[in-house]
Amino acid sequence: MACVAVASLLRTIELEFLQYKPRPVVLDNDLISPNKDLIQSFHQELGSLISQLDEERINMDGVEAVKPLETKLRDLAFRVEDEIELLVAHLYDDDEEDIEDEYLVRVADLFVEEEDELDLYVEKPQPDRYAEKLGQVFQSAMEEIEAIKEALKKIKNRDEAEGRKTGNDVLQRSQLLSSHHASHSKEKMVGKKDEFEIIKKLLTELGSKEKKVVSIIGMGGIGKTTLAKQIYEDPSIFLHFDVRAWVVVSQLHNKRQMLVSLLNSISKQDNIENSTNDDLALKLYQSLRHQRYMIVVDDVWSGDAWDDVSNCFPDDGNGSRVLLTTRLAEVANYTSSDNDFSHHMQLLDQTDSWNLFCENASKSRDAKFEIIGRPIVEKCKGLPLAIFVVAGLFSKLNTLNEWENIAKALESSTTTTIAATCSKVLSLSYNHLPHHLKACFLYLGIFPEDYEINANELSRLWSAEGLAKASENENFDVVAERYIQELMDRNLILVSKWSCCGRKIKVFGVHDLLHAFCVKEAEKENLLHVVRENGSDFRQRCFRWVSIQSSNFDVTTLSYSSRSCRSIFCFSKEYISLNLEQFKLLRVFFFIDELMKSSQICSSKLAESFLFGS
């Protein structure tokens, strides 16, 4: 819960006060020397405290107990970071006549909704009192750290008195990466052989030469895309069809993006920036005409999305096929005719569920493992994604006690629906992430659903945010690469592209349900606000990250959160004018440059060292 706030604050302290050559403006105002011991002590205590909370939280009985303490630590970290960065920003602006009178903001400014509940602003210090003010900030924060530590100690003592072993006794987290058990393996199907053969036959049989639409229907996480991908890559499919193409639609579909994706899937397209949608549709139609094609239209949520592209698929009587995946039967019915076919995917039975779990948990199938593992698999109710994720968690556990704790946590769950069970499994896996990975995993929520995440790009973002910390032996890129590898080993991301040597992840995605989990958790923690196509209302007044995925919103609404906002991500295809000067603490401005076919990451002067090192 406090992982992002603490990671960001630790990095800010390191860059402003603990690096070998701090900023000249910090040295010129002599902020460090009077406060050096206090700063170092606070930095050490903060890092130790988040680790202790992490160890206690990973014991499932301790999750609820430490939540209030995590909330206090989160609020403390946000407030202290704001005070530090506002102080440094004020040093830069000291000669300007229009310096804001509102200098430091108390934590109430960040989290309350009612204006009449806001604390008064703290008065600006005089230049000769900057060091004194900084010392007061750290001294006050240190006292709050001690109070949280004391409360945590009482929880541990109570747990021990009740006979429950604490996290340090039971759960020793492995600091080593597991073997690359999944590094070079493709997603495998378990228990879907019959479905695979049925659909492949429908696609390749030539009893009917007119165009057919074959729909795969099933709930999120049941394996629709995995099945479609296995069929798409099957050698017999490759030989049977002249042209293959793939497009991901998603819940918030974009017609132009769909057309461009399909064209690029057939062959790399040049000079299409100025083409209208009608031009793109005609070009796609002509590319498919007189060809026996197979098109996969993945993750369709509405009839409108189908209407946007369906007329681009000609029917030349040569056995062309469209393979469509959807969660909604009504969408499959809308796209089908008497000659088409819909297949409802089934949940895995107990045997296939257990096989999928064993294949991904990377544990020996001895009697003890099976006794503990089978009840866990049964709680997943045959949903492949839930089994896949919990197996990734098991692959990181090293003792019998750890396995038993996971089993108890799921057995104590009263959830009855498959969706609730999946949510419980995702929460369980998230709780068992080290705090540095929690922060990095939640950060994936800034990207739109089904976005192809470039690993190098993400490395720069994590570095700018302070979520990936370089060491003497590893630079930012190496650390980020290791973090991404860990997320893959835990089955929390889906690799879509490897480097030429096959050892480094270049591009990956996040399953819809996992992405929704990241967004929900980040929004709950006042970290993220997403501007979507169907809404421009900023329900949250304060958040650290804003992800703009629509041009249909009032940009002035961002000004209400300018004091807390650290990062702005713009995924809109249309130009959006933002006044970045009002965001005094802006750390990252990320946008997609359509003309340059690349993303750009910009930073304010406060974040310069985050991006380019010191």
pLDDT digits (tens, 9 = 90+) for 440-485: 999 999 999 989 999 999 999 998 888 887 777 888 889 999 999 9
Burial class, 568, CB count within 10 angstroms (exposed 0-12 / middle 13-18 / buried 19+): buried
Task: Output phi, psi for 569, to 5 deg.
Answer: -120, 120
When mean pLDDT is compared across 124-128, 143-147, 377-381, 585-589, the lowest value belongs to 124-128
What's the Rg (C-alpha) of the chain?
27
Q: Is 388 helix (H, G, I), strand (E, B) or coil?
A: helix
* Total residue length of the chain: 614
Query: What is 170-208 written as a DSSP string?
Result: H-----SPPP-SSTTPPP--SS-HHHHHHHHHHHH--S-
- Cα–Cα distances in angstroms (integers) from residue 236 to residues 225, 230, 239, 296, in the given order: 19, 11, 5, 16
Detail the DSSP E strand segments found in 249-292. Answer: none
3 — pLDDT class (breaks 50, 70, 90): confident
518-543 pLDDT, tens digit each? 999 898 888 898 887 655 455 556 78
pTM, entire model: 0.76
Which structure tokens are listed for 156?
């541990």
Q: What pLDDT, on the 0 to 100 scale, is given for residue 391?
A: 86
The C-alpha atoms of residue 119 and residue 217 are separated, in whole angstroms, by 53
Question: By percentage, how much of the chain surpasses pLDDT 90?
Answer: 26
Beta bridge partners of 341: 214
pLDDT at 566: 87
How large is the average pLDDT for residues 13-31? 85
With bands split at pLDDT 50, 70 and 90, how would you rate the model's confidence at 272?
Answer: confident
Q: Which residues are CB-neighbours of 219 under 8 A, at least 6 positions away?
A: 327, 383, 418, 419
Q: For strands 453-454 and 505-509, give the pairing.
A: antiparallel
Looking at per-residue confidence, does 20 or 243 come out higher? 243
Comparison of pLDDT for 438 and 610, the residue scoring more = 438
Containing 395, the helix (H) or strand (E) segment is: none
Alpha carbon distance 221, 358 (integer Å): 18
Task: Encode pLDDT of 98-115 as tens digits.
Answer: 334 444 444 344 444 444
CA 419 from chain centre, in angstroms, equals: 19
For residues 496 and 508, the answer to whether their CB atoms sit within 8 Å is yes
Note the pLDDT of residue 506: 93
- Residue 210 pLDDT grade (very low, low, confident, very high; cuts 50, 70, 90): confident
Per-position b or e across 454-471, b if 16+ CB within 10 A of its CB: bbeebbbbbbbbbbbeee
Q: What is the pLDDT of residue 215?
A: 92
For residues 52 and 81, is the Cβ–Cβ distance under 8 A? no
Phi then psi dihedrals of residue 275, to 5 deg:
-75, 140
The token pair that represents 393 in the structure block: 């968690």
Average pLDDT over residues 275-304: 93
614: pLDDT strictly greater than 80: no
> Does residue 610 have a pLDDT over 50?
no
Terminus-to-terminus CA distance in the chain, angstroms?
A: 29
On the question of pLDDT at 214 being above 80, the answer is yes
| Segment of 48-52, 53-57, 175-179 carrying the highest mean pLDDT | 48-52
- Rounded Cα–Cα distance for residues 413 and 523 (Å): 24
Mean pLDDT (whole number) for 164-171: 36
